[in-house]
Amino acid sequence: MKSCLKKLSAWALAGLACVAAAQPAPPPPASAVPPQAHVPQPPPTVSASARRLYERSKGQLLQIRTLLKTQDSQASVGSGFLVSNEGHILTNYHVVSQFALEPDSYRLRYATTDGQGGALELLDFDARRDLALLRAVDDGKGGGLRGRGALQFRPQSQPLAKGERIYSMGNPHDVAFAVVEGNYNGLVERSFDPLIYYAGGINPGMSGGPVLDEDGLVVGVNVSTLLFAQQVSFLVPGEFAESLVKRSMGAKPIRTAAWARLRDQLTAYQDELVTRFVAQPWESANNKRYRLPVPRQEFMRCWGNSTSADTKGLDFERSQCRMDHALFVSGNLQTGWLDMSHEAYDGSKLGALRFARQYSGSFRNERLGNADKSRTAPYCKEQFVDRDGLPLRAVVCLRAYRKLEGLHDLSVLVTTVDASTQGALGRFDARGVSFDNALKLAAHYLEGFAWTNSKGQK
């Protein structure tokens, strides 16, 4: 399964996953299957509304396959749906990303619910919203998807109410076309871009499939699900899909690797993200000695913890804040998110020597990454900075993207160096930002450090 990062529970980067499926693995040996797995289970109940909507829309429902160029082996599968009578199809960008970035190695095909199939061409994509517009290739023999009709989008002037029943469709795990009932629960809170919270089960292979209201109108597009959670899934609002369709219906097919187009989209996105972020003032961490940068939780979430009251060693307070979602580039790379943390230490119970050993060890333990297929090794600069009398040791690192020219990953490490048994360590990370915006973010982060008050340095 492709992973699209997006929230990862408790910062393990494992939380949200895209729901496009890779080629399924072979089943385990019978001896490895728990006995209870063989107990027959009653089939899930499907309402009359679900059956009615599926029968009405199954002619416009498709499976989207990414195949190797020279053979029929599947690299990944997802879902899609017809948005015009001429054979235009809407799906997720991450479903077709392999083809978009490596068209010499992959090709696209569709399969209908009644067993037809054919080739696809890519017209445009919106990586920020994880959407792509395709068109069936007319084989000149009466094939293709012309005349099969199209699903219509629900008007924006008719918003859904929380709790309304909606229906997700797709081909989960490359098993069979299916309809899944769930509920609309509004938009995800503290998300930089709007996402619909769908209380229903979306499985790998359903990415790009439509989600319909009771009238059969598209309200959203399947995109991701929260791992290790029940019935917590996410949809791209239909308004963004409709906008892409209107904008790119007449676009020429993309024939070459789309890295430049992708770079332009990511560059525009990070400009907006950085502008909004640096315009926000820092919140207080409520530390008695230091003013530590904590972001407003407008599109980030923060968690914190501290040592228990009976601890006999190093006392600390920790906070970590992160954007819940990121942008999918490829199976090896996600980008477009901010992450920051700080730890404030009190080592008066340890004494200066033992505190210095643990404090410096915390700084050395920070990992900045290595060169890989997507990014260069980090280039770092270290400097001591004075923040209104508060001495800081700061390290700023950049890793350049190999195929997305002008974009970088930024890491900033900061530690206070003002006391023998007290200190604070902070880290800020930004994924996929320009050099100028990296400088803005680094400066903004350093400005968040200061004494709590004029007495803090005593």
What whole-number distance in Å separates Cα of residue 200 and Cα of residue 19?
13
What whole-number distance in Å separates Cα of residue 405 and Cα of residue 414?
28
> In this predicted model, what pLDDT tens digit does every residue of 136-152 receive, in sequence order?
998 766 567 999 999 99
Quote the mean pLDDT of the chain.
Answer: 88
What whole-number distance in Å separates Cα of residue 264 and Cα of residue 389?
42
CB 244 within 8 A of CB 124: yes
Burial 206-237 (b: 16+ CB within 10 A, else e): bbbbbbbbeebebbbbbbbbbbeeeebbbbbb
CB 342 within 8 A of CB 431: no
CB 229 within 8 A of CB 92: no
Tell me: pLDDT of 199 over 80. yes
What whole-number distance in Å separates Cα of residue 67 and Cα of residue 56?
29
125 pairs with which residues across the strands? 132
CB 66 within 8 A of CB 108: yes
> In this predicted model, what pLDDT tens digit does every residue of 274-313 receive, in sequence order?
999 999 999 988 899 999 999 999 999 999 888 765 667 8
> In this predicted model, what pLDDT tens digit does every residue of 44-64 receive, in sequence order?
456 899 999 999 999 999 999
CB 212 within 8 A of CB 24: no
What whole-number distance in Å separates Cα of residue 399 and Cα of residue 370?
9
What whole-number distance in Å separates Cα of residue 201 and Cα of residue 206?
10
Termini Cα distance of the chain:
55
Tell me: pLDDT of 233 over 60. yes
pLDDT at 88: 97
> In this predicted model, what pLDDT tens digit does every residue of 63-116 receive, in sequence order?
999 999 988 888 889 999 999 999 999 999 999 999 999 999 999 999 999 999
**Concatenated DSSP letters for 417-438?**
-S-SSEEEEEEEEEEEE-HHHH
Mean pLDDT score, 152-179: 95
User: Among the listed ranges 20-29, 304-313, 336-345, 402-411, which one has the minimum average pLDDT value?
Assistant: 20-29
Half-sphere exposure of 413 (CA within 13 A, CB side): 17
CB 221 within 8 A of CB 90: yes
What whole-number distance in Å separates Cα of residue 429 and Cα of residue 410?
5
Which among 38, 67, 227, 240 has a CA at the least distance from the CA of 153? 240
Tell me: pLDDT of 118 over 50. yes
> In this predicted model, what pLDDT tens digit does every residue of 423-435 receive, in sequence order?
999 999 999 999 9
Domains, the chain, with CATH or none: 9-24+46-256 (2.40.10.120), 264-451 (3.40.1000)
Which among 294, 284, 318, 271 has a CA at the least distance from the CA of 424? 318
pLDDT at 6: 35
Mean pLDDT score, 20-32: 41
What whole-number distance in Å separates Cα of residue 385 and Cα of residue 135?
56
Helix axes 259-278, 435-446, angle to 10 degrees: 20
What whole-number distance in Å separates Cα of residue 210 and Cα of residue 167?
8
pLDDT at 246: 97
What are the backbone angles phi and psi of residue 69, rounded to the nearest 5°?
A: -60, -40
Q: What is the CA radius of gyration of the chain?
A: 25
What whole-number distance in Å separates Cα of residue 303 and Cα of residue 397?
25
How sure is the predictor about 7, in pLDDT bands with cuts at 50, 70 and 90? very low
**Strand 16-18, strand 21-22: pairing:** unpaired
User: Among the listed ranges 12-26, 254-268, 408-422, which one has the minimum average pLDDT value?
Assistant: 12-26
395 or 25, greater pLDDT: 395
What whole-number distance in Å separates Cα of residue 449 and Cα of residue 287?
11
pLDDT at 21: 55
Strand ranges, E, within 117-232: 117-126, 131-136, 165-170, 178-187, 196-199, 210-212, 218-226
Q: Is 142 exposed, middle or buried (0-12, 13-18, 19+ CB in 10 A)?
A: exposed
181 pairs with which residues across the strands? 167
**No. of H helices and E strands in the chain?**
6, 25
What whole-number distance in Å separates Cα of residue 324 and Cα of residue 292?
22
